[in-house]
């Protein structure tokens, strides 16, 4: 089974940095954002490869994941064996690339990887967000197995005035994750999806559960994406093809806590994610607080 990570966006929110560095390679501590997403994608059992949908303007992503023996040798010759291991580990992951030549939307980006999924169900992980404990996709795989390998998406409650930023589901709660006592919009509740709408106006939203950016999808979606027309924002939307899939196949959603994951989609969110991971890392915690200094710490309250 493969996992697809769309990564062809321009990253305009991070200009001027993203003029020469793809936003996917911006570091959180010492690792590029996309490496966290790749590591998360490889966590559920059965995932044996990650397909990154890249743009031809960002060859740096491909070179990051390519083995560079000369560079590793140079590090080792200077006694930097541990660093050479880190570099080697990043470039030994099962990552392949396809290209999206025209930025026509998320649905179009996913369809660019149609030939790579070998007719199997596949994950999609949006790359502006990653889950450090990597368990969100594992839970989704569990729900899928419990429901005849149906498609599963991760969803979470969102305030009514923010529904128009996201894909929103319609459906009903039909149970909960194994060992979790949850109902309605509580974390761990499992919903049967009956409808999906991308970026609805608040009055048209069928629920307050938004699609978080983690999908486990039936391969049939690739056939539907092949002739999917433009939707919200004039883009080919994955959500619209999923809505069509509902006419043929069952789909489930699992309610998650989006704060389990870290947002890197804006400079402020990216900075907060760096702070959060530095605080959570035993090796970085004390140095981070010291570098921040009393004044900044005071401002944090
Ligand atoms: C995409 C999806 C949307 C989802 C969101 C999560 O929207 O189309 O359904 O809720 O990601 O971040 P975008 O953020 O690309 O507008």
Q: Quote the pLDDT of residue 297.
A: 87
Q: Looking at residues 9-17, what average pLDDT do you find?
A: 93
- In b/e form, how buried is each residue of 243-276, taking b as 16+ CB within 10 angstroms? bbbbeeebbbbbbbebebbbbbbeeeebeebbee
Residue range of the domain that includes 9? 2-265
Residue-level pLDDT at 93: 97
**Cα angle, residue 165 at apex, residues 110 and 144 outer, rounded to 5°:** 50
The answer to whether residue 278 is domain-embedded is: no
pLDDT digits (tens, 9 = 90+) for 176-198: 998 899 899 999 999 999 999 99
The total of structural domains in the chain comes to: 1
Asked whether residue 154 is domain-assigned, the answer is: yes
Per-residue pLDDT band at 301 (split at 50, 70, 90): confident
What H or E segment, with its residue span, contains residue 169? strand 167-176
pLDDT at site 48:
96
Q: CA 232 to CA 213: how far, in whole Å? A: 17
With tokens 């989006």, the residue in question is 258
Q: Is 57 exposed, middle or buried (0-12, 13-18, 19+ CB in 10 A)?
A: exposed
Nearest CA to ligand 1 atom 9: 167
Cβ of 166 less than 6 Å from ligand 1 = yes
Sign of CA dihedral 228, 59, 7, 1: positive
Q: What's residue 10's pLDDT?
A: 87
Residue 172 maps to a domain: yes
86 CA → ligand 1 middle, Å: 32
Verify whether ligand 1 is closer than 6 Å to residue 9 (CB atom): no
Q: Is residue 222 included in any domain, yes or no?
A: yes
- Residue predicted with more confidence, 294 or 212: 212
Closest ligand 1 atom, residue 166 Cα:
10
Region 112-131: mean pLDDT is 97
- Does the beta carbon of 210 sit less than 6 angstroms from any atom of ligand 1? yes
- Choosing from 165, 225, 251 the residue with most ligand 1 atoms within 8 A of its CB, the one to mutate for a pocket test is 165
Task: Select from 53, 100, 105, 106 the residue to mutate for testing ligand 1; criterion: most ligand atoms less than 8 Å from CB.
Answer: 106
Judge contact between 122 and 47, C-beta under 8 A.
Answer: no
- Does position 232 have pLDDT exceeding 90, yes or no? yes
Question: Which pLDDT value is given to residue 263?
Answer: 96
CB-ligand 1 contact for 150 (6 Å cutoff):
no
- Percent of the chain surpassing pLDDT 70: 100
Asked if pLDDT for residue 127 goes beyond 80, the answer is yes
Mean pLDDT in residue range 58-86: 97
CATH of the domain at 113: 3.90.550.10
Q: Cα separation of 193 and 209, whole Å? A: 11
242 CB within 6 A, ligand 1: no
pTM score of the predicted model: 0.96
Q: Is residue 224 part of a domain?
A: yes
pLDDT given at position 4: 98
N residues, the chain: 301
300: pLDDT strictly greater than 90: no
Ligand 1 centre from 213 Cα, in Å?
A: 6
Inside any domain, residue 296:
no
The answer to whether the CB of 39 falls within 8 A of the CB of 53 is no
In a domain, 297, yes or no: no
Question: Using a 6 Å cutoff on CB, does residue 167 contact ligand 1?
Answer: yes
Inside any domain, residue 287: no
């Amino acid at each position: 089974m493969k996992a697809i990570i769309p990564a062809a966006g321009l990253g305009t929110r991070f200009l001027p940095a993203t003029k020469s560095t793809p936003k996917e390679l911006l570091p959180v501590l010492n690792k590029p954002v996309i490496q966290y997403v790749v590591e998360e994608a490889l966590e559920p059992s059965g995932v044996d490869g990650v397909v990154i949908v890249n743009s031809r303007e960002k060859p740096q992503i491909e070179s990051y994941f390519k083995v560079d023996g000369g560079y590793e040798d140079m590090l080792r010759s200077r006694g930097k064996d541990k660093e050479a291991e880190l570099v080697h580990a990043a470039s030994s992951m099962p990552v392949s690339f396809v290209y999206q030549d025209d930025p026509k939307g998320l649905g179009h980006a996913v369809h660019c990887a149609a030939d790579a999924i070998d007719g199997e169900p596949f994950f999609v992980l949006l790359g502006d967000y990653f889950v450090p404990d990597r368990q969100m996709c594992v839970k989704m795989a569990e729900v899928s197995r419990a429901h005849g390998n149906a498609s599963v998406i991760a969803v979470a409650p969102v305030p009514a005035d923010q529904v128009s930023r996201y894909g929103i589901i319609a459906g009903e709660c039909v149970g909960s994750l194994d060992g979790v006592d949850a109902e309605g919009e509580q974390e761990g509740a499992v919903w049967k999806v009956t409808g999906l709408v991308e970026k609805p106006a608040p009055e048209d939203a069928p629920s307050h559960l938004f699609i978080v950016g983690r999908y486990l999808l039936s391969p049939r979606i690739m056939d539907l994406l092949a002739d999917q027309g433009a939707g919200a924002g004039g883009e080919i939307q994955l959500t619209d093809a999923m809505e069509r899939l509902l006419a043929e196949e069952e789909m489930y959603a699992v309610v998650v806590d989006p704060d389990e994951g870290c947002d890197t989609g804006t400079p402020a969110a990216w900075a907060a994610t760096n702070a959060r991971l530095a605080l959570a890392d035993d090796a970085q915690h004390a140095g981070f607080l010291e570098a921040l200094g009393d004044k900044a710490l005071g401002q944090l309250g």
